[in-house]
Amino acid sequence: MTNPITNMPNDPGDIKGEEYWAKRGAINLFLFRRYSPSARATNPQKPVLFLVHGSSFSARTAYDLDIPGQGDYSLMKTFAGLGYDVWTMDHEGYGKSSHTDGFSYIADGVEDIKAATPIIENQTNKSSFCFFGSSSGALRAGAFANTHPEKVKKLALAALVWTGDGSPTLLKRAEKINEWRETNRRTVDEEAYKEIFTRDVEGLTIPELPSVAAAAEMKNGGGSVPNGTYIDMCVNLPVVDPKKVECPVMIFRGDHDGIATDDDVLRFFINLPNKDKQLVMVSGQAHNTTIGINRARFWHSLDSFLSMPKRVDL
């Protein structure tokens, strides 16, 4: 059965949720997996999909949110229903992963993903996966693709910023650079989430989202997150080299996203050497494409990119 609004399959009714742990030195890293045995059996060609979270949410707040009575909000459940084997992880200092005295910079995130991949390989018998990252999660995923191209089959990037030139959000964020550097963590509560969801434009997320996200984040990670990605995005961009991304890439950009200018994103796209690439710009979207009211449009684009027929070489 297909949902007539989203054009996506309805919940198959057997979606599993499994927890795993990876180690990076002394740091414990939490991994979470969702899949549907029946959907996997029906769609055996669907790949392993690794979701990389951004700066202000732990993995399940970002990608496995449950809002009763408001329809599907979990990207993990939606794609598990489509037949994907969906994984995500809490980076160092986020969610259930070890809260260290580090800042959890983009480069640390790359090491986190590197530590997670053997677990996923072991469970799935696959040696490369499709990656999706949003915001600084796109930077983590992009930087991982730079250094470990053999592990990245396809790369989908949402809410991407490359150089940060002209970015309204980063210009404002940089005003507090001393605050981000002073301590390695900041509080994320309902007020912080309300600011994140409305800073670009109001009305593209439901009013209940800040309180639901804050409650989920408190449950998942205790209500605070590391500052490293904020610092990187303010003073260390670019951290991803498009010329070193070898796999097919889709860039998804919401029309109101202030994290980057169109020009910055387009120049990143132009510099990608692989000719299998898509730039998808969609209206009715701000920075948080995965949990906005038009998230179905994002799902549709992501599934389409990941489901592209294989290339025929004569």
Partner 1 sequence: MEGPIWSHEYFAQKGDVSLFMWRKRLESPSKCPAPKPVLFLVHGSSFSGPTGFDLQVPEKQDYSLMDKFASYGFDVWTLDHEGYGRSDKTSGNSGILEGVNDISAGMELIRRETHATSAAFYGSSSGALRAAAFAEVFPNSVNKLILDAFVWTGEGSPTLTERTKKIDQWTSRNFRSVDRDFFLSIFTRDKPGTSEEGVAEALAERELAICNSVPTGTYVDMCSLLPICDPTKIKCPVLIIRGEHDGIATEEDLFNYFNKLPTRDKQFVIIPGLAHVTFLGANRSRLWHVMKDFLHGPDRIDER
Point out which residues pair with 27 in neighbouring strands: 24
271 binds partner 1 (CB under 8 A): no
Residue (of 184, 171, 189) closest to 233 by Cα position: 171
The reply to whether 67 sits near partner 1 by the rule CB under 8 A is no
2 is a contact residue toward partner 1 (CB under 8 A)? no
Question: Which candidate, 266, 76, 297, places its Cα nearest to that of 204?
Answer: 297
Part in contact with partner 1 (CB under 8 A); list of ranges 23-31, 61-69, 160-168, 198-206: 198-206
313 binds partner 1 (CB under 8 A): yes
Query: C-beta of 241: minimal distance to partner 1 in Å?
Result: 19
**Of 14, 127, 202, 271, which one interacts with partner 1 (CB under 8 A)?**
202
State the DSSP string of 105-153: -HHHHHHHHHHHHHHHHHHH--S-EEEEEETHHHHHHHHHHHH-GGGEE
288 by Cβ neighbours in 10 Å (0-12 / 13-18 / 19+) ranks as buried
The reply to whether omega before 168 is within 30° of 0 (cis) is no
Joined tokens for residue 280: 């998808």
Among positions 6, 28, 100, 147, the unique one binding partner 1 when judged by CB under 8 A:
6
Minimum CB–partner distance for residue 41 and partner 1 (Å):
21
Interface residue with partner 1, options 90, 282, 288, 291 (CB under 8 A): 282
* Number of chain positions touching partner 1 (CB under 8 A): 40
- With contacts defined by CB under 8 A, name the span among 54-62, 110-118, 186-194, 292-300 that binds partner 1: 292-300
Work out the burial of residue 45: count CB atoms within 10 Å of its CB; fewer than 13 is exposed, 13-18 middle, 19 or more buried. exposed
Chain residues in the site for partner 1 (CB under 8 A):
5-7, 201-204, 206-207, 255, 262-263, 266, 269-270, 274-284, 293-294, 296-297, 300-301, 304, 307-309, 311-314
